[in-house]
Structure 1
Amino acid sequence: MNSFNHALPPDPKRLYRNKRHGVIGGVCAGIADYLGWDRTLLRLAVIVTLFIAAPLAVLTYVILWIIMPEQPMGLFADEREKRFWQSVNLHPSRTVSDLARKFHEIDRRLAEMERKVSSPDYDLERKFRDLGA
C-alpha cells in the first residue's frame, strides 16, 4: 500500500506564527517577520488598535492565532535567506528583476569564459605553457 501523505517542506512564502519571538501567541512576531517590520512597532500598533476597537482587535488576533500555523524550526538557513523571502513577499517584481540582473551577469561572465577557452589562442598558450614545464 502506497502512502502519498508525505510531509511537504515548509513554505518560506507562507505566513507563520513566530512563537520563539512572540509575547502571547506569536501572531504579531509572525506578521512582522513576514513583512520585514520591527516586531515592537507592530505590537505597539496592535495596542493602539485595542484602544480604538478592542472587540474587533481581540477577535482578529484570536482568529489569526487559530488559523496561522506555528513557524517550523529551520525555515530559513540564515538571515540572508530570510531577507530574500521577505523581499519576495513584499516586492515580487523587484525580486524578479534583481534575480534577472544577477543571472544576466552570470551569463555574461560564462560567455566571456567560454569565448576565452574556445579561442585558438587559448590552446596555443596552453601548449607553450606545457613546453615550459
Structure 2
Amino acid sequence: MASRTTFYLDKQNAKIKGVCAGIADYTGLDVTLVRVLTVILVFATMPWAAVGYAVFAWTAPAKPIDLYQDAGDAKFWQGVRSNTKRSAAEVRSKLRDVDRRLADMELHYTSRNSRLADEIDSLR
C-alpha cells in the first residue's frame, strides 16, 4: 500500500525524471516555481544540486497512479506533509473553539434566564 506522506517521483508531470514534479506534489508548491528554483540552485551550486537531483531520481519510487482519490485529497495530504505540528495545532485550536462554544451554550441553557424561560412558556 502506498503511503501518502512519502516523497514520490511524479512521472505523469515529469519533464526529465519527475523530481521537481514530485517535490511540487509533496510540498504543494507550483511545479513551475520548483523547476525555476532548481535551475537557479544548479547554477549557484553547480555540482551539488545536480548530484542531489540525480540521487533523488535514482532512489525515490515513482508515485502510484491511485495515490489520491480526488484533488481535495491531494491538498489535504500536502497540508499535512508541510508541517505536522502546525496541522495538529490547528486541530487543537478548532476543537478548543468548539468546546468553548458548547460550554457557552450549556451555560446559557442551564442558567437562570428568566427571559428565556418566559419565551419558552409563551411557546407552550
- Quick check: TM above 0.5? yes
| C-alpha distance in 2 between matches for 1:96 and 1:52 | 36
1:28 counterpart = 2:23: no
> By how many angstroms is 1:51 displaced?
1.5
1:38 counterpart = 2:30: yes
Give me the identity figure in percent.
31
1:93 counterpart = 2:85: yes
| C-alpha distance in 2 between matches for 1:96 and 1:51 | 38
- Listed as ranges, the gaps of 5+ residues in structure 2 are 103-124
> By how many angstroms is 1:58 displaced?
1.2
Number of paired residues?
Answer: 100
> By how many angstroms is 1:95 displaced?
2.2
1:74 counterpart = 2:50: no
Alignment of 1:1-133 (within 5 A): 9-100=1-92, 101=94
| C-alpha distance in 2 between matches for 1:97 and 1:43 | 31
What is the TM-score with the length of structure 1 in the denominator? 0.66
- Listed as ranges, the gaps of 5+ residues in structure 1 are 1-8, 109-133
> By how many angstroms is 1:67 displaced?
1.0
What is the TM-score with the length of structure 2 in the denominator? 0.71
